[in-house]
Structure 1
Amino acid sequence: MTRKTSAEGERRQESAERLARPLIRLAILVGLGTSYVGQAGDYHEIEDRTLMGILRALGFDRFDDESIERSIKSVLDSRHSRLLAPTVLHTVGREDRVVVNTGILQIPQASITLENGQPYKASLLPGPGDGSLAYDLDGRFVSTASIIVPADLPMGYHTLHVTVGERTQDATLISAPASFGRVEDLKESQLWGWATQLYSIRSRGSWGIGDFEDLRLMLSQAKAKTGADFLQLNPVHAAEPVPPLTPSPYLPASRSFVNFCYIRPEAVEEYASLDEQTRQEIARLHESVAGLNEDPKLLNRDAMWGAKMRALWLLFKAPRSQARQAGFDRYKALHGQELDAYASWCLCYDKWGSPKPASMGWERTMCLESPEVEGLRRKFPSTYEFYKWMTWVAYEQLEGAQGAALESGMKIGILSDMAVGVHPAGADVWGHPDRFARGVSVGAPPDHFNQQGQDWSQPPLNPLSLGETGYQAYRDLIHGMVSCAGALRIDHILGLFRLWWIPQGMGAKEGAYVYYDSEMLLGILAIEATRAKALIVGEDLGVVPDYVADSLKRHGILGCCVEWFERSGDHFNPPSSWRTCALASVNTHDMPPAAGYLKYEHVKIREGLGLLAESDGQFRADAVAEHNQMLTMLMDQGFLDPRTPDDEDGNIQQIVEAQYRALTASPCMLLAVSLVDGVGEDRAQNQPGTNNEYPNWRIPMADDHGQVVLADEVFDRPRVQSLARVMQEGLGR
């Protein structure tokens, strides 16, 4: 079973002389792209120093030609010395072949242990090799044969046992469906829903940011008052245990757990049985931050968490019923070492301070098994348990919100979001350093919207480690994400195929693509989504090679259509020409709301912060031309009255609604309406390529007059109701 994951098409432009160089051959051998084609079709060859920097992150350290040749031989020897790859993929319903390395004329034997521990009854027959020439492994010639995996092998994570002569080796056998069945359910009807940043919209009961009780309320009211079938959220991955908290939901401490900052203390089950004195103390803590809910300018996560964490400690110390304790114990047993690592990191962070990148602190000198860390767990057992408990309660409340969504009649409920990676000093990297490549970070090459390229400062998962461990970390991640959501959006799904790695000390432009086994990763997605009956949406914006688009379509993963990006040359494409298998929206979280974009908020931010590679005047001129082309499309397609642009400032709501009227004319299966567009907000939530230069991820929801919008009332607002009618009427409901 041979699956190609490298961009062979992009290497066609490289000369034979370049491809023959030892450095280039080694890079290609381990999945490192040596060239790429940019957004505008421009061809780039990767510089040697970039290739060397990434190869160092993959474990190579010498780069003279002789050393590189030895490295190439070492990699090939290692691959041929194994009987089979450590992880192999099978497609349910098809007969597959697993290549086995054998001696000349040796015939492999094999059996399978199913995921449930039972033996697979069918016989596994040997088959022919892959046609490759015999390999000289230190004087012993290695040929290939194969094991035929029957088409009726059930879906799941199994173990393949292979014996050749006196040698036996096992491999993780991932048996995945060919595509995501839930997509078929949507082919006859479109569903629409709202999209929001959960933390940004507070209720009167919030503690300064939106929380899971607000989410439960919004899900129920969105269905009852507007007919929506889902609510798309920002990532709610785990964060730091104590202030200062990282604002970006796309730079989490861990993707394995839910952010306990979103817990509503009063919704914890133990709250109902508290004594009056403890209740009053929690009420006092809530009152100390309740005023934050009325601030329309900036969110204050640190103040919120300072009060909420003390309230949660009081709830943690309260007695739990036998059933509740049993539930907590089951959660701890289920997550085992993963939870131990996260809680240990939280405890170290709490007691020893936040990681300091420039120093040799605990995060660099100690690990999960260090005696000092074990000593800290013994010294503060309650605090260690507290972090586990909060993680459990957060998951419970998120799961409860999804349950409420389905009870309200929503067909999807929560459309959750998975970040590309994690914080370099976070719990996942500290607790499981073997999973990540060090000395590099993930980002993106230059494109029209980010002309300097992007460095997201996140360490990438090591593709070699993933394969050696049966992709267990990725399997657990996806399982956890779809267990409390009706759909999952994967940010930058191109990362399942290739990620832009940037060596430490180099600029974002100086990276290169590293390729992953996308078929394996997509197979895992298919298993988990099928079991959870969840939809998968892949954020496939930007430079997407044809082979990626074809693969996503073949697997039944929905892509993304953004109205402002759907254009050809100097005109916007009519919505009727968009893809069917997609989630459509007017904008993204990396753009200002619709009203702000029409007012050139994106231009003002870039000009003010000096983020432009070209002259300010040229970028503004291009933005004006784009703006006018959008209005032309809306008028030509009958979505906007031709007289409206005569007074744009006075008709912003009408133009925004015209953009959403256009959305309903697309064939896209899912349509997402930004809640900020419903209330008239014009401030951007995030400006890519910045950190503190712009208050990213700290903008609370406000209306067109700058007044706070609360979750309690948002779906009763006339402007929100008007936009909901646009969606309902456009879809014929």
Structure 2
Amino acid sequence: MTTRAALDRLAAHHGMSIAYGDLATGSPRPVPAETLRLILDGLGVDHDAAPSGAPAASEMVVPEGARCHVPASLDDAPGWGVFCQLYELRSDRNCGIGDFGDLTRLARICGAAGADFLGVNPLHALFTAAPDRASPFSPSNRRFLNPLYIALDAVPGAAEPEDAAALRSDTLVDYPAVAKAKLAALRGAFDTQPFGPDASRDSFESFVAEGGEALRLHAVFEAISGRMTAAGHGPGWRDWPAALRRPGSPEVAQLAAELADDVTFHLWLQWITRRQLHAAAEAARAAGMRIGLYLDLAVGEAMDGSSTWSGAAAALPGLSIGAPPDMFATTGQNWGLSAPSPTALAAADFAPFREMIAAQLADAGALRIDHVMALWQLFLIPENHPPADGTHLRQPFADLLRELAAQSRARQAVVIGEDLGFVPDGFRDAMETANILSYRILYFEQDDDGFAAAASYPTSALACISTHDLPVMATWWRGIDIGLREAHGLVDPETSKLHAAHRERERKGLLRALERDGGLPAGTADAAAPDLPEQALDAAHRFLARTPCLLCGVRLADLVGPTEPTNLPGTVDVYPNWRPRSPVRIEDLPEHPAFARVTALMRAERPRPERSAS
């Protein structure tokens, strides 16, 4: 067996970090040899051999021509738009979960209000057989879409479920009940009236042919997942009988033939889903938006989902993506997502990455990439090990950038990189060179001297108040997020007191910044007020609109709710993550006071040009 020094040289040659500073002592802590060997095995490298071939890149080199698309009109007239969680939308016609019909209606409303984009959570395919696995950031397959977002009233022959009214009245999305009701209605339509004059069999067959083997395998996975779940197995392939864990096995072929109708149903669901998303994208453009729909890309896929089963994920075995221990999470984080293999991606000429990005941009004018630092490196954790046993693995940065930029230009789509958390030195400079917009959160743009001035924000960026992992401004003001973290054991009471005291200082600092740069008249808002002053909410949006950032986002929940946190990071079942619903119907949005007020001031600060150049 090779010596530790030789193993370290080999691991470093292939882009692995071999040591970290220990949080307790500050001294270097070696990455376990077992971790290094596991990653080398996954890369197809003999861990007893000497380094050979070109070493992993040590510098972030942006290839010549690897520049993402940015509309020329944004230079002269920076844009703004609205973000929402699609599932949270409430309307008189949905079935307890926001759908593509709601998205179409909202696009028209926001477009009429002057917005240039409408952003949503990731719409990736989850597990229809396990609807309680509801996190949009833990998808089964990023190339395909979640059929729970289908608008039933736009599908001929799909009857409204008997419990639709009850589901609409819920304050939380009841995913199992919604899935049962909607999938039954959709199956009824599929069995009796799958096609119509505007949705012909020829169109369906063309869609299936274009989707190819990747789409077929996803539908086969979904059909088998349903059968396995009904038989008492888990929905993911790792809990299936061994013979079904490989898509090329005779047993899979036999079962797929037996479930042929179910396979076709899942192909049909993807067809309907894509058609409805396309209609929403067309509505956004028709409403005058320069960018249109703004979609979100999760950083990875579930380890037991469709993508890893089919091989499309090009995943490294026995490893998941996470984050190392730091001052905010002293034990680190394990996100439970599969990790792509740089060698497998290169061997496939990066087709898995290219096709996945192309699928996102088919109907998007902008794409937000979650944890965009994954283009450079990923923190990988061996299964059944704590995050402290993980290490960073360098990714083929130049190649991934080249593919991303090519797809962005081909589709004329803006790319935004979520560059929060640990950002390696030089990474934001590389992003700017590649025309990937930075993601700047108002809450985070501060230091010991207070909140940053609006003018200090970068031009090549999107600015907003918060994101799905952070509280809306009214909740932030009241410190409810601090209490929730303590109540769920994420921090101890003493730490919680420190956070509460800091929040009091933050409120004062924010009001000073809003008086300076957000048009808030001095003395009109009290930092000691128990609830967020209305003037402060307006001034915060005006502040962001006055930054030089090319884009600025308004979170719909900041205006109309829900005020409950979308997601409480660090929790799974003890908090209703991804379930809170808006208390306001879409039908009432145009006349809602906060919506009307904030969109009017955004329109005044960032007027949309009558004509735009791309």
**Fold conserved (TM > 0.5)?**
yes
Once residues 416 and 436 of structure 1 are traced to their aligned partners in structure 2, the CA distance between those partners, rounded to angstroms, is: 24
List alignment gaps of at least 5 residues for structure 2. 609-614
AA partner of residue 621 (structure 1): A
The answer on whether the counterparts of 1:501 and 1:512 sit within 8 Å (CA) in structure 2 is: yes
Once residues 543 and 307 of structure 2 are traced to their aligned partners in structure 1, the CA distance between those partners, rounded to angstroms, is: 42
Once residues 212 and 519 of structure 1 are traced to their aligned partners in structure 2, the CA distance between those partners, rounded to angstroms, is: 36
Counterpart of 1:316 in structure 2 is 190
Matched, 1:721 2:600: no
Once residues 544 and 272 of structure 2 are traced to their aligned partners in structure 1, the CA distance between those partners, rounded to angstroms, is: 38
- Classify 1:567/1:435 alpha carbon distance in 2 versus 1 (closer, same or farther; 3 Å): same
Counterpart of 2:103 in structure 1 is 215
Counterpart of 1:671 in structure 2 is 552
- Classify 1:217/1:204 alpha carbon distance in 2 versus 1 (closer, same or farther; 3 Å): same
Counterpart of 2:124 in structure 1 is 237
Counterpart of 2:396 in structure 1 is 517
AA partner of residue 531 (structure 1): A
- Classify 1:360/1:401 alpha carbon distance in 2 versus 1 (closer, same or farther; 3 Å): closer
Q: Which whole-Å deviations, capped at 9, do the CAs of 1:197-254 have from their partners, x for residues lacking one?
A: 0001121110110001100000011111x21111111000001122433111000111
Once residues 333 and 358 of structure 1 are traced to their aligned partners in structure 2, the CA distance between those partners, rounded to angstroms, is: 25
Matches for 1:227-626 after TM superposition, within 5 Å: 227-268=114-155, 271=156, 274=157, 282-283=159-160, 285=161, 287-296=162-171, 298-317=172-191, 318=193, 320=195, 324-353=200-229, 355=234, 361-362=240-241, 366-432=245-311, 435-447=314-326, 449-612=328-491, 615-626=495-506
Q: Give the C-alpha shift of residue 61 in structure 1.
A: 11
Matched, 1:712 2:611: no
Q: Which whole-Å deviations, capped at 9, do the CAs of 1:83-108 have from their partners, x for residues lacking one?
A: xx9xxx995xx6xxxxxxxxxxxxxx
User: SS at the partner of 2:163?
Assistant: helix
Higher relative contact order (CA 8 A, sep 6+): 2
Q: Give the C-alpha shift of residue 37 in structure 1.
A: 7.7
The answer on whether the counterparts of 2:380 and 2:393 sit within 8 Å (CA) in structure 1 is: yes
Q: Give the C-alpha shift of residue 650 in structure 1.
A: 5.3
Matched, 1:27 2:27: no
Identify the range of structure 1 (488-497 vs 364-373) with the bigger mean alpha-carbon deviation: 364-373
Q: Give the C-alpha shift of residue 729 in structure 1.
A: 2.7
- Classify 1:54/1:422 alpha carbon distance in 2 versus 1 (closer, same or farther; 3 Å): farther
AA partner of residue 337 (structure 1): E
Matches for 1:120-269 after TM superposition, within 5 Å: 177-224=65-112, 226-268=113-155
Once residues 363 and 210 of structure 1 are traced to their aligned partners in structure 2, the CA distance between those partners, rounded to angstroms, is: 38
Counterpart of 2:512 in structure 1 is 632
Q: Give the C-alpha shift of residue 511 in structure 1.
A: 2.2
Q: Which whole-Å deviations, capped at 9, do the CAs of 1:241-298 have from their partners, x for residues lacking one?
A: 2243311100011101011111112213xx1xx5xxxx6xx13x2x3222221222x2
Identify the range of structure 1 (305-314 vs 680-689) with the bigger mean alpha-carbon deviation: 680-689
Q: Give the C-alpha shift of residue 642 in structure 1.
A: 3.3
Once residues 363 and 575 of structure 1 are traced to their aligned partners in structure 2, the CA distance between those partners, rounded to angstroms, is: 57
Q: Give the C-alpha shift of residue 569 in structure 1.
A: 2.6
- Classify 1:665/1:477 alpha carbon distance in 2 versus 1 (closer, same or farther; 3 Å): same
Q: Give the C-alpha shift of residue 180 in structure 1.
A: 2.0
User: SS at the partner of 1:458?
Assistant: strand
AA partner of residue 186 (structure 1): L
Larger-Rg structure: 1
Q: Give the C-alpha shift of residue 52 in structure 1.
A: 2.5
Q: Give the C-alpha shift of residue 551 in structure 1.
A: 1.1
Counterpart of 1:689 in structure 2 is 570
User: SS at the partner of 1:682?
Assistant: coil
User: SS at the partner of 1:52?
Assistant: helix
AA partner of residue 506 (structure 2): E
The answer on whether the counterparts of 1:342 and 1:427 sit within 8 Å (CA) in structure 2 is: yes
Report the RMSD for the aligned CA atoms in angstroms: 2.8
Once residues 641 and 506 of structure 1 are traced to their aligned partners in structure 2, the CA distance between those partners, rounded to angstroms, is: 54
Q: Percent identity among equivalent residues?
A: 30
The answer on whether the counterparts of 1:194 and 1:674 sit within 8 Å (CA) in structure 2 is: yes
- Classify 1:678/1:431 alpha carbon distance in 2 versus 1 (closer, same or farther; 3 Å): same
Once residues 105 and 286 of structure 2 are traced to their aligned partners in structure 1, the CA distance between those partners, rounded to angstroms, is: 12
Q: Which whole-Å deviations, capped at 9, do the CAs of 1:439-464 have from their partners, x for residues lacking one?
A: 22111224455444321111111111
Counterpart of 1:117 in structure 2 is none
Once residues 195 and 43 of structure 1 are traced to their aligned partners in structure 2, the CA distance between those partners, rounded to angstroms, is: 40
Q: Tell me the TM-score normalized by structure 1.
A: 0.76
The answer on whether the counterparts of 1:35 and 1:43 sit within 8 Å (CA) in structure 2 is: no
User: SS at the partner of 1:235?
Assistant: coil
AA partner of residue 442 (structure 2): E
- Classify 1:206/1:44 alpha carbon distance in 2 versus 1 (closer, same or farther; 3 Å): farther
Q: Give the C-alpha shift of residue 390 in structure 1.
A: 0.4
- Classify 1:48/1:529 alpha carbon distance in 2 versus 1 (closer, same or farther; 3 Å): closer
AA partner of residue 72 (structure 1): A
Identify the range of structure 1 (356-365 vs 478-487) with the bigger mean alpha-carbon deviation: 356-365
Report which of the two has the higher share of strand. Answer: 1
1:56 maps to which of 38, 46, 52: 38
The answer on whether the counterparts of 2:319 and 2:381 sit within 8 Å (CA) in structure 1 is: yes
The answer on whether the counterparts of 2:31 and 2:389 sit within 8 Å (CA) in structure 1 is: no
Identify the range of structure 1 (349-358 vs 608-617) with the bigger mean alpha-carbon deviation: 349-358
AA partner of residue 496 (structure 2): D
Q: Give the C-alpha shift of residue 681 in structure 1.
A: 3.8
Once residues 207 and 195 of structure 1 are traced to their aligned partners in structure 2, the CA distance between those partners, rounded to angstroms, is: 21
Q: Tell me the TM-score normalized by structure 2.
A: 0.90
Q: Which whole-Å deviations, capped at 9, do the CAs of 1:453-510 have from their partners, x for residues lacking one?
A: 3211111111111111101100100111011111111011001111111122222343
Counterpart of 1:648 in structure 2 is 529
The answer on whether the counterparts of 1:597 and 1:682 sit within 8 Å (CA) in structure 2 is: no
The answer on whether the counterparts of 2:96 and 2:174 sit within 8 Å (CA) in structure 1 is: yes
Once residues 527 and 507 of structure 2 are traced to their aligned partners in structure 1, the CA distance between those partners, rounded to angstroms, is: 14
AA partner of residue 510 (structure 2): M
- Classify 1:265/1:606 alpha carbon distance in 2 versus 1 (closer, same or farther; 3 Å): same
- Classify 1:651/1:537 alpha carbon distance in 2 versus 1 (closer, same or farther; 3 Å): closer
- Classify 1:732/1:325 alpha carbon distance in 2 versus 1 (closer, same or farther; 3 Å): closer
The answer on whether the counterparts of 1:434 and 1:465 sit within 8 Å (CA) in structure 2 is: no
1:47 maps to which of 30, 33, 44: 30
Once residues 109 and 43 of structure 2 are traced to their aligned partners in structure 1, the CA distance between those partners, rounded to angstroms, is: 58
Once residues 326 and 547 of structure 2 are traced to their aligned partners in structure 1, the CA distance between those partners, rounded to angstroms, is: 26
AA partner of residue 221 (structure 1): I
Identify the range of structure 1 (194-203 vs 569-578) with the bigger mean alpha-carbon deviation: 569-578
Identify the range of structure 1 (561-570 vs 233-242) with the bigger mean alpha-carbon deviation: 561-570
Counterpart of 1:700 in structure 2 is 581
- Classify 1:377/1:490 alpha carbon distance in 2 versus 1 (closer, same or farther; 3 Å): same
- Classify 1:676/1:243 alpha carbon distance in 2 versus 1 (closer, same or farther; 3 Å): same
User: SS at the partner of 2:200?
Assistant: helix
